Amino acid sequence: MANPPVCKIADFGNFQYKQSKKKQKTKQKKVELKGVRLSFKIGAHDIAFRKKQAEKFLKQGDKVKIELNLRGREKAHKDLAKEKINNFINSIETKNEIEQPLKTQGSRLSITIKSK
C-alpha cells in the first residue's frame, strides 16, 4: 500500500524451503508434561479425581508427572509414600509405562509416566 509501490526481490527456492518448514512445524504434535500432585494424607475422593485427570492426560498423549510432597513427620515414612504412589499408578486404567523412575529430591517424590 506504499506510494510508490515497493516490491522485494527474493530467492524463490529459499521461500519454498521456509514455507515447507512452517508446514512441518504445524503438523508436529508437541507432547506436554502434565502434573498431578498427591499428598500423604489424601482422601479417597481426591485420589479418584486425580486418577481421572491423569487418565485424561494420558489419553491425550501427554506425559504425566506424579509428585508427592512430604511435610514434617511424614518425611520419616518415605516407604509408605512410595507405596502410595505405586498404588496410584497401578490404579490408572489406561496402559502406561514409566518414563522416569521414582526419584527423591529432598522431601519430594516424583515419577513420570507416559501412555503406551
Which domains are assigned to the chain? 33-115 (3.30.110.10)
- Cell numbers linked to 41: 494424607
CA distance 52 to 66: 13
Mean pLDDT value across the chain: 90
Element (H, E) at 36: strand 33-39
Distances from the Cα of 78 to the Cα of 13, 40, 71, 97, angstroms: 60, 10, 11, 23
Question: What is the pTM (predicted TM-score) of this model?
Answer: 0.72
Per-residue model confidence (pLDDT) at position 7 = 83
pLDDT at position 57: 92
What's the confidence (pLDDT) of residue 75?
92
Query: Phi and psi for 65 in degrees, rounded to 5?
Result: -105, 120
Contacts of 33 (CB under 8 A, 6+ apart): 62, 63, 64, 65, 112
Buried b (16+ CB within 10 A) or exposed e, 56-81: ebbeeebbbbbbbbbeeebeeeeeeb
- Whole-number CA gyration radius for the chain: 23
Q: Give pLDDT tens digits for 1-41.
A: 778 888 888 899 999 999 999 888 877 777 789 999 999 99
The pLDDT tens digits of the residues spanning 47-57 come to 999 999 999 99
Residue 2 is predicted with a pLDDT of 78
Query: Quick one: average pLDDT of 74-82?
Result: 92
